[in-house]
Structure 1
């Protein structure tokens, strides 16, 4: 059996601004998405 990991983009709205988190897969946790968003907002 071959498992194929498909990376997707997750689009979310933060403070009225659309943000895109790239590289999201079925194995990506909510915590990883929140951390990525927090890092993007901080920069």
Structure 2
């Protein structure tokens, strides 16, 4: 199934419980290879 949760596109298999999240292109571009994003805050 494909669904949105908090404006994030998510994909989940109802048979095997596989899950994947589609990262926003702006977030992916701002991420450095050696670091992980733990949250995005919009004041």
Classify the TM-score, shorter chain: under 0.3
Higher strand residue share? 1
| Structure of higher CA gyration radius | 2
> Higher relative contact order at CA 8 Å, sep ≥6: structure 1 or structure 2?
1
TM normalised by structure 2 equals: 0.23
Higher helix residue share? 1
